[in-house]
């Protein structure tokens, strides 16, 4: 302690040592002292000097402090001092807090370099990081908290290098994940900050952290802190969740499958009172919305995005977001971000798009949410960012949603417009924005209407029916004509904002409308004010003034006005830099009019328009102007992502979907401009021929497909018949085994009866004969009853077989459908043979049963004779009373009658069995006839199939010739169906050649 007092200046006498000397003495003390207390005091002193003398402490004491961490782990106090000292040396946060505003940037740069330099020294030995991770396992607050802060500072200085060290360290990430489970909030919260730095831009660590149950712990912390009403801890947890999920498809899938999306719904239960939100709540809710967007971002794989969208709809998250969207009084930036979030939740998901279409705003009267949003989009008083968000929401609602597109376009058609004017529709709002005096409203409405027509040729044709009333007393004009009229007026209309923006928006709408729709191109060319046939202009240069009649003069005036439409005139002129976009889009529109032209208008055919370009503009100049679009900087920005994000309204020029259209059409339009008329004619002829052959091939493919379906059904029927046959065979084997059992029982009874008769004949005593004879008679009666029951069972089984045979006959002899005949073709032959075998076995069984019945008859008569023989001595005995003799005779007579009746019944059953056998024989004959008919039908069907194959071979040869013609014309042929058909045709030709050689 005396040493420390001298070092710290407690001694008043003598010169005071400098800071570097003091630090050197302290370092020597740490290195040389044997007592733990002395080392602890020295490290404490270094800690107090580390903030003021950061460079000296870091350069002289770092090795000694690391040595303390290695050797003095048993003392938590000295370990805490050492960690705090290292943190003060490495961290730049303390210097930033102490700096004044007047300090220069150079000093800040020096501070940053100092922290980075010390960090490199510390992590140069990877064992130091391993040692630090080991110290984090200590539960002592004075060790764990400084360790967390030190590791966080190291990650801030040298993040990528430290991430690699922690990644290869055994259980490195798991040790850091234990910080989230610490009961002390300060360590838990700093642990969240540590994991934020650890998971930045490292997918491997992000996956490990996610599978260490990070999602569960972070969501629990957010819930404990009060969701969106929580403090800075909620913000830190949300930032960590973004690090784990953004651009990490594996973690996103794990988050969805873990049912964590359902736990996000309570975040957005903000209540009706949205006034007076704190800044922290706004920040938290903003981050929560961004986290939802991370899961459904358009840049994610389509399958992952779709599954997350469905999960959000099923758990009610989308409904909760729509509630916030339609609420009033919330902050503007939250409303904007909510619109963007809802946009991406419904984008491309039909179920979510349908729900969004059913959402109504709580107004009087209630209006659809789409209408309310469009009202904000075309309102120039609304913030620019909000209007962009509404446009993005409308685009996402229509993305791959033909049903929604049809509903929007239907509000413009004459049959669906509300004549009373009580309610405003989406179509009316779009038209109002399209023709307003605000250039931004013009652009947004044009792009929104273009998305309503995207990849939907039917709606493009229906939109041609829309008529607009421009002014009182003038006839209505079409929507297409009104758009071109605005283009023709050019700079005459006084607009707020960029006038180029209005023309760019209208040209994008027209290009989207006319692409892939020849009918719309015809309507566009039919108006002589759009692209007039200007051959008169060029002819007047070579004609006299007398030849210039009024028609020629009026056409020249029309050509002068054409320069304002920015098509041929705009392309030909050499305008300023700001007009290059308009020139390029005008060239694109003119190229679309050529490429999708069906030559239905003679004066505006493809060839005439090409001549116009060649004489008025020049093909090279036209191609150069067309290339202006893809070379523009704003075009490149718009093509990066679907969301329209612009720094200012002046930069709002291109739409993301329109950039795809330009990429698709730029090459084909350039190729179409340089094609000659002969090539066009040949190409059209070849296309028509190919279409005809394609129709023929399609027809035969349909025929073959139907036959395949029929064959499949017949196969199923054959399989069912096979299963029935197997069941019948199983039943037959069971019956055979039962018959064998009956035979064995019969033999046993026969042996027993033989023994009994011998026993009765051996006795001569009349009294014993009188006592045994009734018992034998009762036994015989019981045996006869048993045989009768067994016979009845056999007869029932035969009836079941007969019913099965009848069912098979009905299923095979049904002439109502083609399928049954086909089934008989393939399965009848085999089944007939099986039925014949079964009938033969039944016939043999019946014969065997008849022989057994005859044997029974003979045995019965033998028994009767034996009984008569036994009655003779009984009647002759003088000692037997007369009453007993009469009773015995009556009993015998009754039994004889019963036996006769049973014999009669057995004979009748034998007759019925013979009748059944005869009916089965007739069934076999019928089946033989059906078999011959089926064989004849199979031969006819084979002949029809051979004829079809011959026709297909002829068609394949024609297609091969046409392909060769196309190749000669220089057209690429890559159709797989054509290639396959050509290969098949070659094989058929080879087979025909082989057959001709065999014939020769």
Measured CA to CA, the distance from residue 173 to residue 163 in angstroms comes to 10
Task: Provide the token pair at 373.
Answer: 């949003």
Residue 252 has what pLDDT?
Answer: 94
Distance CA 884, CA 912 (A): 43
Dihedral angle sign, alpha carbons of residues 108, 109, 110, 112: positive
* pLDDT (0 to 100) of residue 886: 65
- Dihedral sign, CA of 96, 99, 105, 108? negative
Name, of 625-639, 666-680, 831-845, the range with top average pLDDT: 625-639
**DSSP letter string, 129-189:** HHHHHHHTT---HHHHHHHHHHHHHHHHHSHHHHHHHHHHSTTHHHHHHGGGG-SSHHHHH
Interatomic CA distance for residues 642 and 293, integer angstroms: 13
Please tell me the predicted confidence (pLDDT) of residue 757: 61
> Taking 70 as the threshold, does the pLDDT of residue 459 lie above it?
yes
Rounded to the nearest 5°, which phi and psi values hold at 600?
A: -75, -20
Residues linked to residue 361 through DSSP beta bridges, in sequence order: 367
Helices 499-514, 439-452: axis angle to 10 degrees equals 10
Tokens (6 digits) for 488:
């023709």
Name the residue among 607, 580, 718 with its Cα closest to residue 672: 607
Which pLDDT band, with edges at 50, 70 and 90, does 129 fall under? very high
Can you give the pLDDT at residue 575? 52
Q: Judge if pTM exceeds 0.85.
A: no
**Mean pLDDT on 105-131:** 79
pLDDT per position as a tens digit, 717-730: 888 888 888 888 88
Residue 949's pLDDT band (cuts 50, 70, 90): confident
10 Å Cβ neighbour count for 21?
A: 12
pLDDT score for 870: 45
What does the pLDDT read at residue 535?
A: 30
pLDDT in tens, 967-989: 777 767 665 454 444 555 455 55
Q: Is the pLDDT of residue 471 over 50?
A: yes
The band of 904, judged by pLDDT with boundaries at 50, 70 and 90, is confident
Mean pLDDT of 914-924: 73
* Sign of CA pseudo-dihedral 714, 716, 720, 726: positive
Band (404; pLDDT cuts 50, 70, 90): very high
More confident residue, 164 or 880: 164
Of residues 614 and 660, more confidently modeled: 660
Q: What is the pLDDT of residue 358?
A: 94
Give tens-digit pLDDT for 38-97: 999 999 999 999 888 889 898 899 999 999 999 988 899 999 999 999 999 998 875 544
CB 476 within 8 A of CB 468: yes
Domain range list for the chain: 426-542+559-675
Q: What is the pLDDT of residue 929?
A: 77
Number of other residues whose CB lies within 10 A of the CB of residue 781: 14
Region 155-165 average pLDDT: 92
880/795: higher pLDDT: 795
Q: Per-residue pLDDT tens for 778-791?
A: 666 676 677 677 67
Choose which CATH entry (3.30.360.10, 1.25.10.10, 3.40.50.1110, 1.10.150.530) describes domain 426-542+559-675. Answer: 1.25.10.10
Q: How do residues 199-223 score in pLDDT, each as one tens digit? A: 998 999 999 999 999 999 999 999 9
How far, CA to CA in Å, does 45 sit from each of 19, 42, 401, 727, 842?
12, 5, 71, 97, 113
Give the pLDDT score at 511.
95
Length of the chain equals 1000
Parallel, antiparallel, or unpaired: how do β-strands 360-361 and 477-478 relate?
A: unpaired
Cα maximum dimension of the chain: 169
Confidence at residue 772, expressed as pLDDT on a 0 to 100 scale = 41
pLDDT of residue 815: 45
Please answer whether residues 866 and 836 qualify as being in contact, where contact means their C-beta atoms are separated by less than 8 angstroms: no
Three-state secondary structure readout of 423-462: CCCHHHHHHHHHCCCEHHHHHHHHHHHHHHCCCCHHHHHH
pLDDT band, residue 107 (cuts 50/70/90) = low
What are the two backbone dihedrals, phi and then psi, of residue 646, each rounded to the nearest 5 degrees?
-130, 145
Residue 226 backbone dihedrals phi, psi, to 5 degrees: 105, 25
Instruction: State the burial class of residue 84 (Cβ atoms within 10 Å of its Cβ: 0-12, 13-18, 19+).
Output: buried
When pLDDT is cut at 50, 70 and 90, the band that residue 839 belongs to is low
Mean pLDDT of the chain: 78
Lowest mean per-residue pLDDT among 28-37, 92-101, 288-297: 92-101
Q: What is the pLDDT of residue 879?
A: 40
Task: Decide if pLDDT at 705 tops 90.
Answer: no
Q: Calculate what percentage of the chain has a pLDDT beyond 70.
A: 73
For residue range 765-814, list pLDDT tens digits in order.
443 444 445 565 666 667 667 767 767 777 776 777 667 667 666 655 45
Please give the Cα distance from 642 to 396 (Å, whole number): 9
DSSP, residue by residue, 304-354: HHHHHHHHHHHTTHHHHHHHHHH-SS--HHHHHHHHHHHHHHHTT-HHHHH
Please write the tens of the pLDDT for every residue from 249-293. 999 999 999 999 999 999 998 765 555 688 999 999 999 999 999
Give me the helices (H) in 169-248, please: 172-177, 185-198, 203-211, 214-225, 232-245
More confident call, 330 vs 69: 69
Rounded CA separation 387/438 (Å): 13
Task: Name 303's bridge partners.
Answer: none
């Amino acid at each position: 302690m005396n040493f420390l007092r001298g070092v710290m200046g407690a001694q008043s006498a003598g010169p005071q040592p400098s800071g570097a000397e003091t630090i050197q003495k302290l370092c020597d003390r740490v290195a040389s002292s044997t007592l733990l207390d002395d080392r602890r005091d020295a490290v404490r002193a270094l800690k107090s000097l580390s903030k003021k003398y950061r460079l000296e402490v870091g350069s002289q004491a770092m090795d000694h402090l690391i040595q303390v961490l290695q050797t003095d782990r048993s003392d938590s106090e000295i370990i805490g001092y050492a960690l705090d000292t290292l943190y003060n040396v490495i961290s730049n946060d303390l210097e930033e807090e102490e700096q004044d505003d007047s300090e220069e940037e150079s000093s800040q740069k020096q501070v940053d370099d100092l922290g980075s330099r010390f960090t490199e020294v510390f992590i140069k030995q990877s064992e130091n990081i391993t040692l630090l991770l080991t110290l984090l396992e200590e539960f002592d607050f004075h060790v764990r908290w400084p360790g967390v802060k030190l590791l966080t500072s190291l990650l801030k200085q040298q993040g990528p290098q430290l991430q690699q060290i922690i990644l290869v360290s055994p259980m490195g990430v798991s040790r850091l994940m234990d910080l989230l489970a610490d009961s002390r909030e300060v360590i838990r919260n700093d642990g969240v900050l540590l994991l934020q730095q650890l998971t930045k831009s490292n997918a491997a660590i992000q996956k490990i952290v996610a599978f260490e149950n990070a999602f569960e712990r972070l969501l629990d912390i957010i819930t404990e802190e009060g969701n969106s009403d929580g403090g800075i801890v909620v913000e830190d947890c949300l930032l960590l969740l973004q690090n784990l999920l953004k651009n990490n498809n594996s973690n996103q899938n794990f988050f969805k499958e873990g049912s964590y999306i359902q736990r996000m719904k309570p975040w957005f239960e903000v209540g009706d009172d949205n006034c007076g939100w704190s800044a922290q709540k706004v920040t938290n809710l903003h981050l929560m919305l961004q986290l939802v967007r991370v899961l459904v971002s358009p840049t994610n794989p389509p399958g992952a995005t779709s599954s997350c969208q469905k999960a959000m709809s099923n758990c009610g998250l989308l409904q909760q977001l729509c509630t916030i969207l339609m609420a009033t009084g919330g902050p503007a930036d939250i409303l904007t971000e909510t619109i963007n979030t809802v946009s991406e939740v419904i984008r491309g998901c039909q179920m979510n798009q349908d729900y969004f279409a059913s959402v109504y705003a709580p107004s009087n009267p209630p209006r659809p949410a789409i209408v309310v949003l469009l009202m904000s989009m075309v309102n120039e008083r609304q913030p620019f960012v909000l209007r962009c968000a509404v446009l993005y929401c409308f685009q996402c609602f229509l993305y791959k949603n033909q049903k929604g597109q049809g509903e929007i376009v239907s509000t413009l058609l004459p049959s669906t417009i509300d004549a009373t004017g009580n309610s405003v529709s989406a179509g009316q709002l779009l038209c109002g924005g399209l023709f307003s005096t605000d250039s931004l409203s013009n652009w947004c409405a044009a792009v929104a209407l273009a998305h309503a027509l995207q990849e939907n040729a039917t709606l493009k044709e229906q939109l041609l029916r829309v008529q607009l009333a421009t002014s009182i007393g003038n006839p209505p004009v079409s929507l297409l004509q009104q758009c071109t009229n605005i283009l023709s007026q050019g700079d005459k209309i006084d607009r707020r904002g960029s006038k180029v923006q209005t023309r760019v928006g209208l040209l994008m709408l027209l290009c989207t409308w006319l692409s892939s729709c020849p009918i719309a191109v015809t309507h566009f060319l039919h108006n002589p004010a759009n692209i007039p046939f200007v051959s008169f202009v060029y002819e007047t240069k070579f004609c006299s003034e007398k030849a210039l009649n009024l028609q020629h003069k009026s056409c020249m005036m029309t050509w002068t006005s054409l320069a304002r439409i920015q098509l041929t005139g705009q392309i030909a002129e050499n305008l300023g830099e700001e007009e290059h976009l308009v020139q390029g889009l005008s060239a694109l529109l003119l190229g679309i009019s050529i490429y999708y032209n069906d030559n239905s208008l003679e004066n505006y055919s493809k060839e005439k328009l090409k001549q116009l370009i060649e004489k008025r503009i020049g093909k090279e100049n036209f191609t150069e102007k067309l290339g202006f679009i893809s070379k523009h900087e704003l075009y490149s920005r718009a093509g990066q992502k679907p969301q329209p994000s612009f720094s200012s309204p002046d930069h709002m020029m291109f739409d993301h979907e329109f950039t795809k259209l330009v990429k698709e059409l730029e090459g084909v339009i350039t190729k179409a401009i340089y094609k000659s008329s002969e090539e066009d004619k040949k190409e059209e002829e070849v296309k028509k021929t190919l279409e005809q052959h394609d129709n023929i091939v399609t027809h035969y493919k349909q025929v073959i497909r139907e036959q395949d379906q029929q064959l499949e059904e017949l196969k199923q029927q054959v399989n069912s018949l096979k299963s029935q046959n197997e069941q019948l065979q199983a039943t037959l084997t069971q019956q055979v085994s039962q018959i064998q059992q009956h035979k064995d029982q019969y033999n046993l009874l026969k042996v027993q009866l033989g023994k009994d008769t011998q026993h009765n004949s051996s006795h001569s005593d009349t009294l014993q004969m009188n006592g045994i004879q009734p018992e034998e008679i009762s036994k015989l009666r019981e045996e006869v009853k048993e045989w009768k029951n067994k016979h009845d069972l056999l007869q029932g089984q035969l009836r079941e077989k007969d019913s099965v045979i009848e069912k098979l006959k009905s299923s095979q002899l049904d002439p109502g459908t083609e399928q049954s005949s086909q089934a008989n073709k393939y399965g009848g032959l085999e089944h007939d043979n099986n039925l014949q075998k079964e009938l033969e076995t039944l016939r043999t069984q019946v014969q065997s049963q008849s022989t057994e019945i005859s044997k029974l008859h003979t045995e019965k008569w033998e028994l009767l004779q034996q009984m008569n023989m036994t009655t003779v001595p009984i009647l002759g005995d003088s000692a037997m009373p007369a009453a007993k003799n009469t009773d015995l005779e009556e009993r015998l007579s009754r039994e004889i009658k019963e036996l006769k009746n049973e014999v009669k019944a057995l004979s009748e059953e034998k007759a019925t069995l013979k009748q059944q056998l005869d009916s089965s024989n007739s069934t076999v004959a019928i089946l033989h006839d059906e078999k011959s008919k089926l064989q004849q039908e199979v031969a006819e069907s084979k002949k029809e199939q051979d004829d079809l194959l011959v026709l297909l071979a002829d068609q394949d040869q024609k297609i091969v010739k046409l392909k060769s013609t196309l190749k000669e014309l220089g057209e690429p042929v890559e159709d797989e169906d054509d290639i396959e058909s050509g290969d098949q045709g070659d094989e058929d030709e080879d087979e025909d050649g082989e057959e001709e050689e065999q014939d020769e």
